[in-house]
Structure 1
Amino acid sequence: MTAPEVALDRPVRAPRAVLAPHRAFWFVGALLALFLMASTAPSPMYAIYQQRWDFSATVLTEVFGAYMIGILAALVLFGAVSDRIGRRPVLFAALLLEIVSMLVLAFAPDVGPLFLGRFLQGVATGAATGAISGSLLDFQPPGSSRGATFNGVAAGLGMALGSGVAGLLVQFAPAPTMLAYLLLIVGFVIALPLVWLMPEPVRDPIALRRALRPQRPGVPAGRGKAFALLATTMLSAWTIGGMFMSLGPSVAKSLVDGTPYLIGGLAVAAMTGVGAAAQLSASGWLGQRAVRVAAPTLIVGLATVAVAVLNGSAATFFAGSAVVGIGWGLMFMGGFRLLTALADPDNRAATASMIYIVAYLSATVPSVLLGMLTTYAGLTTSTIVFAAIAALFATIAWAGTYIRH
């Protein structure tokens, strides 16, 4: 056996932790917010990319789809790896890849590197998602559901800040398609040493060679039917999230004259920011109650958005987006809480990865289909169709909470 083979078969070990578990909890939550800030940062830039490189709404949603495909590939291949080799090595590798993706996006000369950068970013985010979600459950106070709550709040807040701040930078700062990425790189570089200072909750990590063998994410045996039923909550929430992150800026821009890039960023921020606030205010709710309140709220908000597009009213659109945000936040929080309750301590990252596979599939497929519909039928028709389909999914999720096993 050669020296490299010996090193490869040794369990992955990390340096002694410095951060206390409660500080590590807040750090990994902030890291999740940073990853999701980066995920929505390109949203207000899409209008500039379209003008520069003259591509259609179909290509725009395909760029968004490339990010989602990267996430799904990482979740399927590496989503459960942190349960086996530890959280820290996975997070460190994800941060390095995220930095590379930010550099590709910052200096993209045409739409090809844009696809590549978003795909690499998706892989990095997908690899980090399982490890971060598992860490939040590992570090939460015993007997609490703070990990699931903070997971949703950090996600919503991160997406809101990413699109909102990027919109401001695109509108008023120099280098509109570069500066936001460079600032995010600084944040990821700062996070690198902090990852190695957090505790490692995975005991007895196995050899890296064995850990990298594909192992599909999943749920504990005997809980598949319950997972499938409760996963309708992710279908509802992320169909809406995918539409707002891909086509939402274009809808908002079509309703407002002047400052279009800032308005495009605010369209995503309105939905995700209000969603994060809703999760904080309802953090003590049971998951079932959150879903039952979320569904009718989403339907009302989606109807308001549809009316706004038909009437050409920006004020009504943003009001509807805020109402949708309340429903989105509660649906995401309630569904995530119900689904993570199915996990055992030994498969937390695997279960969290399976949740996000459902979520990102729900965001990807409808968004790409709506992009194609927009190209041929127009933005107004696509928005009405989206609102109707998303309302149906919300109704299915609501009904699912009344089915008893």
Structure 2
Amino acid sequence: MATLLAVDTRPSGLPQSSRRWWGVAAAMFAIAWGGNEFTPLLVMYKGNGLPATTVDLLLFDYVLGIVPALLIGGPLSDRFGRRPLLRPAPLVGAVGSLLLAVGSTSVPLLSAGRVLCGVALGLAMAVGSSWLKELSQPPRGPELPAGTGARRSAMSLTGGFAVGAGVAGVLAQWAPLPNSSAYLVNVMLCLIAAVWVARVPETSPSQRNSGRLIDDLKVAAVAHRRFRCIALPVALWLFTSAATAYAVLPTLMALKAHGAPIAFSALITVITLGCGFAIQSLARRIDRPNTARAAVVALVSVVCGMVSAAWASGTSAVVLTIVTAVVLGAGYGIGLVAGLQEIERIARPDDLAGLTAVFYSVSYLGFGVPVLLAFLHESFGLGYPQMFAAAAVGAAACSALVVRNYRA
């Protein structure tokens, strides 16, 4: 992860083509950092007097920026090129973090900051993922194993999510200016990434006489059987798993955090995403082009993680919370690589970004889970163990669908 933001110290003889992707990865890393630094601070905002439902809605607010940016940014980058869409994204993320830094007691400013961070993240996911793929294969890059672009994309995003959350939690718990210091760090990182990504060459030149934009927004590959029956069932559980592990459980365990609830929330976030990051290298070995093995493994991990979450929430056991974070993080990491590599096999060059956008849009609906669970708990008295058990059943059903379509 650190190499994404490090100064280039490689020998000058290294071919420039092998380093082009670093700037895109750095932008994705910095933007993902900004997108997830809010998560471990949920406990802080609730402790500062904001209603729990309001705070959970603020977590979901950035999905309002992510989904439109994904669905529109991907096709626009296929039409106008990757550079015009991704170059401004770190600057948008910097503005979003700045609003979060100055608006710690203002719900409208916090909401606006979250939406802008979402816009930046949506562009990074749809456009950055496609750009990395194109920079990781001939003629723009050296000959590399299949799926290299997808793995670089997944690791850049997950690394940013994990490091951003960890640093934010530590700064908010113990540093001066706890409401703003984490966000100001991200502003600086985004500005550095904006300069770096501006040096990356275009891989998808602007298309002349490209027809109507509305036609570009139609992604025909969405109807592909492998996308509907493999990639989408996995997408549904990616951020549902992540949100369960580091947005719901730490709040339930706040009284068990020994006086440092923000740091504990950050720790759970780092464990979840750190495991997701680390296992992505193994996911390459699990994945097989003509099967759905990686997707099945991911969903089985989600089922186990939801069962563990039900147990942890019922017993308020800190150790079980950590175990749950590990298992759900593994499901997230394997599922992310499985979905992106499936998309690489399905998509044509002209709809790669669009199909990636649909995949991520579906996955980010999972950040509505904390709000939904809080609503069901407060309005109908449903217990968290029962709701997590129901989620395990839902993940098992998706796993059965994937098994039915196991062979390509």
After TM superposition, give the deviation of residue 291 of structure 1 in Å: 1.8
- Take 1:263 and 1:307, find their aligned partners in 2: how far apart are those partners? 19
Q: Which of these residues, 112, 117, 139, is aligned with residue 116 of structure 1?
A: 112
After TM superposition, give the deviation of residue 283 of structure 1 in Å: 2.2
Percent identical pairs in the alignment equals 27
After TM superposition, give the deviation of residue 102 of structure 1 in Å: 0.9
For residues 181-239 of structure 1, give each alpha carbon's deviation from its aligned partner in whole angstroms, at most 9, with x where no partner exists.
1111111111122222111001244499x897684262438x43332112111112222
Asked if 1:98 is matched to 2:93, the reply is: yes
After TM superposition, give the deviation of residue 251 of structure 1 in Å: 2.7
Contact 2:26 2:193 in 1 (8 A): no
Asked if 1:61 is matched to 2:62, the reply is: no
Superposition pairs for residues 5-404 of structure 1, below 5 Å? 20-56=16-52, 58-108=53-103, 109-141=105-137, 142=143, 144-206=146-208, 215-216=216-217, 218-220=219-221, 223-230=223-230, 231-286=232-287, 288-361=292-365, 363-376=366-379, 381-403=383-405
Query: What code does the residue aligned with 2:324 have?
Result: G
Structure 1 residue aligned with 2:7:
none
Query: What code does the residue aligned with 2:225 have?
Result: K
The 1:35/1:250 distance shift into structure 2, 3 A limit, reads same
Range with bigger deviation, 383-392 or 306-315: 383-392
- Take 2:19 and 2:146, find their aligned partners in 1: how far apart are those partners? 16
- Take 2:404 and 2:70, find their aligned partners in 1: how far apart are those partners? 30
The 1:186/1:205 distance shift into structure 2, 3 A limit, reads farther
After TM superposition, give the deviation of residue 78 of structure 1 in Å: 2.4
After TM superposition, give the deviation of residue 385 of structure 1 in Å: 0.4
Contact 1:78 1:212 in 2 (8 A): no
Aligned residues: 382
Q: TM-score, normalised by structure 2?
A: 0.86
SS of the equivalent of 1:341 reads helix
Query: What code does the residue aligned with 1:123 have?
Result: V
The unaligned stretches of length 5 or more in structure 2 are 1-14, 138-142
The unaligned stretches of length 5 or more in structure 1 are 1-18
Q: TM-score, normalised by structure 1?
A: 0.86
Query: What code does the residue aligned with 1:218 have?
Result: V
The 1:269/1:177 distance shift into structure 2, 3 A limit, reads same
Range with bigger deviation, 366-375 or 156-165: 366-375
Contact 2:59 2:367 in 1 (8 A): yes
